[in-house]
Amino acid sequence: MSSILTIIPLQSARLEAPCISAEIISVIEEVKSEGKKSLIFYSRRGNARAWICADCGHYEKCPHCDIAFAYHTTPEKCLICHHCSQIAPFPIICPHCHGNKVNPVWVGIQQIEDRLSKLVSTNTKILRIDSDTKEKSGVLYNTIKTSDIIITTQIGGSIVHPDIGAVIWLSFELNLSIPSYHIEEDIYHEISYYKKQGLPLYIQTYTPDHPLLREIMDGNTRSFLSYLSRERIEFRYPPFAELATIRIHDEQKKKVEDIMSKLINKISIIKLPSTFLAFDTNIWEKYGGEWQQKIVLKDKSLSYVLRDLEVEIVRNRSVTLEWS
């Protein structure tokens, strides 16, 4: 089976609401009239705030990490890399096209659900699947069965149902702005998966000529891997280097600060000049009632550093290691 992939340039599209074009509403209604469901991806999740130029779709990347800057408002408007803590000023005009439609993106999936409910026919049932969804897989499958629209944040995952009639990505750039070095790989595999199902695919974007979109359209996996490898080598990401994220978490903020300080001091002493070390004691996150901070390390090999940190990592319930 072969699918039809339609690119919808947002610069020229008539928007009924943020990220919702008139063409997408028509697609949803047509799919519903055929007794099918629309699967919509909208990856605005957690604190992944971003800014995007509405004229050209440009978004700023960290020069050290090649991931999207996150948009922060306190203590002042700025862009911050969540890997290495590089700070950049919030641009008044786009550095790429010099346009002035530079917009922070923070419309969440719940707002998208609310806008959709007002734009589609009144008897349309919408199911939202995100981090707040608590249903078990069996229950969720039955809920999908009775829904007309499934809207989800799940990048890199696959939702399967025989009645899905169209798959829609509301904002290609917003997917790319998630601060993760493997986000392009996740997007490529996700779209390729649905292409293989022979489903009609719709991608809304401000950058219809983006190299990743060209690779997806061509469907040349070898070419995509070559494109991906060049970036991984340049910025020292797996599999061409090792990446470790040490997360410090506890209900007591002071305890996190103390552990963080001790780890940074020890790593600074034992690391090699080639080892990339990044942290920011001013960036705080809170999940499940625990304060969190992280330390990021990159090098050809990190075993020598992590071996010396074995006691601090293994014996401390407030320290978690992600190593790849």
Is 3 or 44 the better-scoring residue by pLDDT? 3
Average pLDDT, the chain: 84
> Has residue 60 got a pLDDT over 90?
no
The reply to whether 116 falls in a domain is yes
Helix (H) or strand (E) holding 156: none
Structure confidence by residue, pLDDT tens digits, 141-190: 678 888 999 998 875 456 778 899 999 999 888 777 777 788 888 888 88
Buried b (16+ CB within 10 A) or exposed e, 165-200: bbbbbbbbbbbbbbbbbbbbbbbbebbeebbeeebb
pLDDT at site 47:
40
Most confident of 51-60, 90-99, 116-125: 116-125
Q: Yes or no: say if 112 and 42 are a contact pair by the CB < 8 Å rule.
A: yes
For 187-241, write each residue's pLDDT tens digit: 888 888 888 888 999 999 888 888 888 888 888 888 888 888 988 998 888 999 9
Amino acid 48: pLDDT: 44
92-101, 108-117, 250-259, range with greatest mean pLDDT: 250-259
| Domain boundary pick from 196, 231, 266 | 231
pLDDT-wise least confident of 71-80, 184-193, 197-206, 267-276? 71-80
Among 202, 231, 260, give the residue marking a domain's end: 231
Burial (0-12, 13-18, 19+ Cβ within 10 Å), 33: exposed
Question: 60 and 96 share a domain?
Answer: yes
Same-domain pairing of 73 and 84? yes
- Pairing between β-strand 50-53 and β-strand 70-72 as defined by DSSP bridges: unpaired
Residue 109 confidence (pLDDT) above 60 = yes
In this structure, the answer to whether residues 194 and 124 fall within a common structural domain is: yes
Tell me the pairing of strands 5-9 and 37-41: unpaired
Quick check: 266 pLDDT over 90? yes
Residue 236 lies in a domain: no
Residue 46, pLDDT > 60, answer no
Specify whether 130 is located in the same domain as 216.
yes
Paired tokens of 303: 């075993």
Q: Is residue 175 part of a domain?
A: yes
Q: Locate the DSSP E strands across 87-200.
A: 87-89, 102-105, 126-129, 149-152, 164-169
Report the greatest alpha carbon distance in the chain: 66
Confirm whether 237 is domain-assigned: no
Band (12; pLDDT cuts 50, 70, 90):
confident
Q: What is the pLDDT of residue 153?
A: 80
For residue 259, the enclosing domain spans 242-323
Number of folded domains that form the chain: 3
Are 167 and 224 part of one and the same domain? yes
Higher pLDDT, 286 or 246: 246
Asked if 147 and 31 sit in the same domain, the reply is yes
156 and 181 both lie in a single domain: yes
Same domain, 95 and 187: no
Q: Please check the confidence at residue 273 and state whether its pLDDT lies above 70.
A: yes
Do 220 and 273 lie in one domain? The reply is no
> Looking at the predicted structure, is the pLDDT value of residue 83 above 50?
yes
Looking at the structure, tell me whether residues 166 and 81 fall in a common domain.
no
Nearest to 64, CA basis, from 48, 87, 89? 87
Residue 132: pLDDT above 60? no
| pLDDT reported for residue 319 | 93
Whole-model pTM: value is 0.75
Number of alpha carbons in the 13 Å side-chain half-sphere of residue 206: 21
Given a contact cutoff of 8 angstroms between Cβ atoms, the answer to whether 276 and 298 are in contact is yes
Both tokens of 158, joined, read 């696959």
